[in-house]
A and B are shown apart, each in its own frame.
Chain A
């Protein structure tokens, strides 16, 4: 019989206001095996934890039940408390009487009664708990960063700085990501390329960093410290080791009509191309969708002009499998499509552009060489209308994204300011719902746009844009002025909402990392563990976790790197001891469990057993690798004889909980 201590937490008034904590402690004190029961204002506080520790020692407790907030909150805290007091940490069970009781019920007697039942279930479980000891598994001291944008670059550099090898997998031919397409950055207005390209060079020159560009993750196996990742390196039909990046092929290629994705289709490139001058690796890539040689076997101009002999039309996709200890997701974002927003005439007029397209139109390396010209006729625009929150803050579903995209207010202020600065003869209108500027020097920046540069900020929204006679008729509301505005604009710029990159969802499935409904990766804890995924060994960097601007992305990238460094600097990891355990005496060796194990943690051995009458029987029995087993329990149900059980969530424990609840 266990000697169980019950500790009922008030959580201030969070629990105590709706649950009679004293009564709960008194009721649970009567349960068989309970030798001590008390209540306290904040069990998770130092004083509360001391109380638990003292009780363990004083009453010789062998099991502890804490009636408090969700185990997802403080299970670890209380396990540590008990461990300090000399009790095995797995002899602790939490009854969740806050999230699952006090916060959802209003009637005190009802909530109190339920709290008692939840406590009883936890007591019933603790009776069957067994001390568990965590095993260890080795750590592969190499990290994988998925995504080569500023987030991935910063994370990789920081990890490499600490001395650990890092691979960056980038799906595009070059690293750099969205930041390479941005002209200037807020609120300092320094040139994005000037701060990014040196970092890209650092990456390419760092011996610890291996860039696997034009590649995608294909398969992920294993677990924290021991991932095995298969990467598909797509054929670029150019031998990376030979190509010098001279660019001659990209000038001679006869196929000139390929939309240039780097400039968002605002101009064209060749079928063989280097995305931009500072690309890393600076290697040409043949676009198989447009190359006539690859499509019809006719042409071969690039091969003829290439002095290095780097062109290889026969190149195949290459599968690379490598071992990693940690994986960082840095898949970033992309602007949402504008096809659902007919009212802004994006599809009808080339002069309606997204903000990212405007970046290209203002960039010296862009299609217009940095002069702001209307895409329709190449003339200088005089009236520009910026529309904020296009597809952000919507009701969800068809309308758009329910969240605020966070960066639009600031880059719109930047655009407005830059245009007014460079072309003082233009009128710039910004239609906003709210201007959100929480950040260092952000509001000052916005005020400067209004006060120094005379940007017209109008509280209201554009309802309709109609192309007419070379102009864009903008109908909008001016809520503070109490009027409907009609503006004849030359260009309309849409602050399109941003969403996670499309590759994130399948990647999350491969990584078994969870995502929210918007496809942003979920963090292990929204406040306390913001750069870790709930899946151990998977870390989050940049906008894949939520909308972020560059400084935030870089900060988070560094934070993710430090977490990775922390992991890789360990020689071995403590495993989750709540793993499956076969009872060899009951095991049939039928392989049912092996069939359903998602981790390949189960193998079989032929083992001698003592049979009846001094005989020896050789039987095939299952073995679980505790370092690989993640404790899902799929095998326990697949096993017909019940030989497979899950430590910490055993059949008997769960049934005891059921009994306690139903009695």
Chain B
């Protein structure tokens, strides 16, 4: 079992073991064709402890977080929440701060709302 399994459960707040493997998430997913792993596979991989594999995949970023799977899942497993947790796990794995306050001035630009950068800092820094 991966060291990450519990982290994913903790972050997502869902229990992947509730999944009954019906595949309705995958059936409902609009981004299916662009994915390396599909919603039911996210769930299965977390359940079976193949989290590192999932974390290594660029596929996790193709989820649009449209929540169709969350809406339709008969068991309240919420694959979208799980994949978001995996993404956060990736950030944590990178260790240290992915972004530091001194980088902010360089990132500021006229078009981008300042708020977005502050949010990014919160999300991508460990201390936050």
- A contacts, CB < 8 Å to B: 343, 389, 393-395, 399-400, 431, 433-434, 459-464, 475-479, 482, 484-485
The answer to whether B26 touches A394, judged by C-beta atoms less than 8 angstroms apart, is: no
The answer to whether B74 touches A463, judged by C-beta atoms less than 8 angstroms apart, is: no
CB of B12 to closest CB in A, whole Å: 15
The answer to whether B68 touches A394, judged by C-beta atoms less than 8 angstroms apart, is: no
The answer to whether A461 touches B24, judged by C-beta atoms less than 8 angstroms apart, is: yes
Query: What separation, in Å, do the CA atoms of A343 and B32 have in the docked complex?
Result: 17
In the A-B complex, the 7 residue pairs with the closest CB atoms: A463-B28, A463-B27, A461-B24, A477-B27, A477-B26, A477-B23, A433-B22
Closest-by-CB residue of A relative to B18 is A395
Residue of A389, A399, A484 most packed against chain B (CB within 10 A): A484
Residues of B within 8 A of A395 (CB): 18, 73-76
Partner of B74, one of A399, A460, A464: A399
Residues of B within 8 A of A343 (CB): 28, 72
The answer to whether A484 touches B33, judged by C-beta atoms less than 8 angstroms apart, is: yes
Given contacts A395-B76, A484-B29, A484-B33, 12 further A-B contacts (CB under 8 A): A343-B72, A393-B22, A394-B74, A394-B75, A395-B74, A395-B75, A399-B76, A459-B23, A463-B26, A463-B29, A477-B23, A484-B27
Classify chain B's interface size: 20 to 34
Does chain A have a CB within 8 A of B20?
yes
Query: What separation, in Å, do the CA atoms of A343 and B27 have in the docked complex?
Result: 11
Residues of B within 8 A of A476 (CB): 27
Contact pattern, B 48-76, Cβ under 8 Å of A = 1, otherwise 0: 00000000000000000000100011111
Residue of A394, A460, A463, A482 most packed against chain B (CB within 10 A): A463
Query: What separation, in Å, do the CA atoms of A399 and B77 have in the docked complex?
Result: 12
Residues of A within 8 A of B25 (CB): 463, 477
The answer to whether A460 touches B26, judged by C-beta atoms less than 8 angstroms apart, is: yes
Residue of B21, B26, B29, B73 most packed against chain A (CB within 10 A): B26
Partner of B23, one of A394, A400, A479: A479
Q: How many pairs of residues, A versus B, come closer than 8 Å at their CB atoms?
A: 70
The answer to whether B21 touches A479, judged by C-beta atoms less than 8 angstroms apart, is: yes
The answer to whether A477 touches B75, judged by C-beta atoms less than 8 angstroms apart, is: no
Residues of A within 8 A of B21 (CB): 433, 479
CB of A6 to closest CB in B, whole Å: 43
- B contacts, CB < 8 Å to A: 18, 20-29, 32-33, 38, 40, 68, 72-76
CB of B49 to closest CB in A, whole Å: 20
Partner of B28, one of A393, A399, A475: A475
The answer to whether B74 touches A477, judged by C-beta atoms less than 8 angstroms apart, is: no
The answer to whether A393 touches B20, judged by C-beta atoms less than 8 angstroms apart, is: yes
Partner of A463, one of B33, B68, B75: B68
Partner of A477, one of B40, B68, B76: B40
Query: What separation, in Å, do the CA atoms of A606 and B29 have in the docked complex?
Result: 79
The answer to whether A484 touches B72, judged by C-beta atoms less than 8 angstroms apart, is: no
CB of B32 to closest CB in A, whole Å: 4
CB of B66 to closest CB in A, whole Å: 12
Query: What separation, in Å, do the CA atoms of A496 and B18 have in the docked complex?
Result: 21
Query: What separation, in Å, do the CA atoms of A389 and B24 have in the docked complex?
Result: 11
Partner of B27, one of A389, A393, A394, A462: A462
Residues of B within 8 A of A459 (CB): 23
Closest-by-CB residue of A relative to B75 is A395
Q: List 26 A-B contacts (CB under 8 A).
A: A343-B28, A343-B72, A393-B20, A393-B22, A394-B74, A395-B18, A395-B73, A395-B76, A433-B21, A433-B23, A460-B26, A460-B27, A461-B23, A461-B24, A461-B26, A463-B24, A463-B29, A463-B72, A476-B27, A477-B24, A477-B25, A477-B38, A479-B21, A479-B26, A482-B38, A485-B27
Query: What separation, in Å, do the CA atoms of A93 and B30 have in the docked complex?
Result: 63
Query: What separation, in Å, do the CA atoms of A460 and B76 have in the docked complex?
Result: 17
CB of B57 to closest CB in A, whole Å: 15
Residues of A within 8 A of B18 (CB): 395
Query: What separation, in Å, do the CA atoms of A462 and B27 have in the docked complex?
Result: 6
The answer to whether A484 touches B20, judged by C-beta atoms less than 8 angstroms apart, is: no
Query: What separation, in Å, do the CA atoms of A459 and B20 have in the docked complex?
Result: 12
Query: What separation, in Å, do the CA atoms of A369 and B26 have in the docked complex?
Result: 39
Query: What separation, in Å, do the CA atoms of A431 and B38 have in the docked complex?
Result: 18
The answer to whether B32 touches A484, judged by C-beta atoms less than 8 angstroms apart, is: yes
Residues of A within 8 A of B26 (CB): 460-461, 463, 477, 479, 484
CB of A417 to closest CB in B, whole Å: 23
Closest-by-CB residue of A relative to B71 is A343
Residues of A within 8 A of B72 (CB): 343, 463
Closest-by-CB residue of B relative to A391 is B74
Closest-by-CB residue of B relative to A343 is B72
Residues of B within 8 A of A400 (CB): 74
Residue of B18, B21, B28 most packed against chain A (CB within 10 A): B28
Query: What separation, in Å, do the CA atoms of A186 and B127 have in the docked complex?
Result: 64
Query: What separation, in Å, do the CA atoms of A393 and B77 have in the docked complex?
Result: 13
Closest-by-CB residue of B relative to A459 is B23
CB of A351 to closest CB in B, whole Å: 19
The answer to whether B22 touches A461, judged by C-beta atoms less than 8 angstroms apart, is: yes
Residues of A within 8 A of B38 (CB): 477, 482, 484
Residues of A within 8 A of B73 (CB): 395
